[in-house]
Copies of this chain bind each other. A is one copy, B any other.
Amino acid sequence: MVNTLHYMTTPRRPEPPGGTIAPTPADALNGLLMVTSLLEADQRRFHVEHGMTAARVHLLWQVGLTGPTSQRTIADALGVTPRAVTGLVDGLVESGHVTREPHPVDRRATLVTLTQAGADFVADLQESHAGLAADLFGDVQDERLAAFVDLLGETAERIHRLMKEAR
């Protein structure tokens, strides 16, 4: 059975007096969870600063990727119920980040559409995402970075496989 908890980070063992010790699998998972936890904390700070919530930013990001989108499609993309999308869109309409436009051919549907403010916000988001990547990994040697990305990719595949087996 697969499972993890991001706060399950346990302290790194101390370095022994004479040199380093080989890291264990637990050290790797803990390192991953530690970085994750820090990224999450930073993300929360960003949301508070911008008077936003994670769910609303997620929706804006999605609509930024796909363009004007029906609420049903957004619900599927975000993995929540259509009812939840109604609430998120209500909030974002009120804050001026999106509008509800009529669907050109299906009169049941509405197309959630970014306003200029919404588009500006998404652009800021994309820019700072790129900036963070550069800050964190911009001066890491090509070979080290390649090895890192490779192992991350393998890890993602393993998690995928474990989750499939558990199902």
State the Cβ distance, A167 to closest chain B Cβ, in Å.
9
Is A147 close to B, CB under 8 A?
yes
* Contact assessment for A144 and B147 in the assembled complex, using a CB-CB cutoff below 8 Å: yes
State the Cβ distance, A87 to closest chain B Cβ, in Å.
18
Count the copies: 2
Considering only residues 1-40 of chain A, those with a C-beta below 8 Å from chain B are 1-8, 12, 20, 22-36, 38-40
Instruction: Report Cα–Cα, A144/B6, bound state, in Å.
Output: 23
Query: With A39-B4, A58-B7, A136-B25 as given contacts, are A148 and B147 in contact (CB-CB < 8 Å)?
Result: yes
Is A134 close to B, CB under 8 A?
yes
Query: With A5-B125, A129-B8 as given contacts, are A41 and B163 in contact (CB-CB < 8 Å)?
Result: yes
* Contact assessment for B29 and A32 in the assembled complex, using a CB-CB cutoff below 8 Å: no
* Contact assessment for A35 and B159 in the assembled complex, using a CB-CB cutoff below 8 Å: yes
- Chain A interface helix/strand/loop/mixed: helix
Is A146 close to B, CB under 8 A?
yes
Query: With A136-B29, A151-B148, A162-B135 as given contacts, are A142 and B22 in contact (CB-CB < 8 Å)?
Result: yes
Q: Of B7, B28, B46, B158, which is within 8 A of A145 by CB?
A: B28
List B contacts of A134 (CB < 8 A): 25
